[in-house]
Structure 1
Amino acid sequence: MIIPRTLAALSELGIVMAEPCGRVAIDPATLYAEIGCLIVNYDGTVEVVAADDATVEQQVELIRQARIARIDGPTGVGWRGVDGLGWVCSVFEPPR
């Protein structure tokens, strides 16, 4: 099956899928949807935390962003350091 192979390949790259948490939230000012977050641990491992109700497409976007974070590290706007954890960044989807 493709999903277990994909998750195994991501794990080999240092990307793991964490348990989903929270729900997709819409920012009323921008209409952007917060679909989850990424955590770059101090050891470089990237955790993908999708919202409980994130669609498959949204989860794929989170994984795409995680691959970038794994290669480049926590660079760019939005990353914040969390003591004892690493770096955390929310991931947003523009309105359709």
Structure 2
Amino acid sequence: MITEYESTLKEIRLKRKEAYQLDFPILLCLALGLVSSLVLPAFAPFFGLAAFVAFYRKLVKAARILCPRCNEPFGTNSNIVLGFGTGNCQQCGLALYKNKS
């Protein structure tokens, strides 16, 4: 039963890890913000905001991957995403990790 969902559950686990990793758009925004703070300080906050938006989009994407069992968002379908949710699907309760016992 769990094995038929394992590939999607593995993708959910991978996206959750990747959401907190720095990638090129975020690093670019941070670097441009640093340079901008030295050259034109008024534009530095815009690059910081752009870095936050890039990070937040990754977080939302990871939280809203569809559950393989019920086809609802696995983590959350809230308009304001503050995290991934729990280790179980919010609708059907499918576990993201296998129990060790």
**The two structures share one fold, judged by TM-score above 0.5:** no
Q: Which has the larger radius of gyration?
A: 2
The structure whose residues are more often strand, as a share, is: 1
Higher relative contact order (CA 8 A, sep 6+): 1
The TM tier, using the shorter chain, reads under 0.3
Q: TM (normalized to structure 2)? A: 0.21
Q: TM (normalized to structure 1)? A: 0.22
